[in-house]
Amino acid sequence: MHKIGLIDYGMGNIHSVTKSLESLGEEIILIKNFNDSKLCKAIILPGVGAFDPAMNNLRNTDLIDDLKNWIKSGKSFFGICLGLQLLFESSDEGKVQGLGILKGKIQKIPNIVSQRIPHMGWCQLLPTKKNTLFGIEELNNWVYFVHSYHAIPDDLNIIAAQVDYGSEKLTAMIENDNLLACQFHPEKSGKTGEKLLRRWLTNIQ
């Protein structure tokens, strides 16, 4: 069992993430101040909602510098949905600067005939490289998405998985050293989401 810190900044799907991790035997500590993180082995940044209000909430709770320092220190970090998007420099969704931990931007999902926005529902992950959560050959990796914006990293090598969206492929997961983040919701992805979370927990140092 680990102590997992869940950043509570008013924009996250706190209840569902907590329930998922507790069902795997983990202890959850809600982080409103990084003094609360001293016993944590990993930090999760969840997120549901819009980019600018989320960044404003993080700034108002004085969590930004501590969050950046946590990631720079090499400790395990996991971002979910909006928690992935906030890692980048900017978003088409707003005007507020992002965390800038990763170079790149968040763009509106392109309009494609027969495809709807938001991109919502169950889709298969398409791994682009070896990663922590699943193997290249693994087929049972259907997960739940709901989003209208997607990440465009400057360094495409950090993309660990994509998802089909009509003729386009969108970033579904990024991994860069100790930083892992997914656009989908593992906590809403049934047995597959449980499997992926369990694998992430197994790899926590």
Cα separation, 203 vs 144, in Å, equals: 23
Residue tagged active-site, from 26, 40, 81, 147: 81
133 closest CA partner among 192, 74, 205: 192
Other CB atoms within 10 A of residue 188 CB: 18
Answer yes or no: 147 catalytic: no
Q: Which of the residues 26, 93, 175, 187 is marked catalytic?
A: 187
2 included as an active-site residue: no
Supply the DSSP symbol for 37: G
Q: At what angle do helices 64-72 and 51-60 cross, to 10 degrees?
A: 90
Provide CB contacts within 8 A for 109, sequence distance 6+.
Answer: 117, 118, 119, 147, 148, 149, 150, 165, 170
The amino acid that residue 120 corresponds to is M
One-letter amino acid for residue 1 of the chain: M
Contact residues for 175 (Cβ-Cβ < 8 A; gap 6+): 131, 132, 158, 160, 181
Q: Is 187 tagged catalytic?
A: yes
Q: Is 138 helix (H, G, I), strand (E, B) or coil?
A: coil
Distance CA 159, CA 57 (A): 27
Per the residue annotation, which of 119, 147, 150, 185 is the catalytic one? 185
| Residues designated as active site | 81, 185, 187
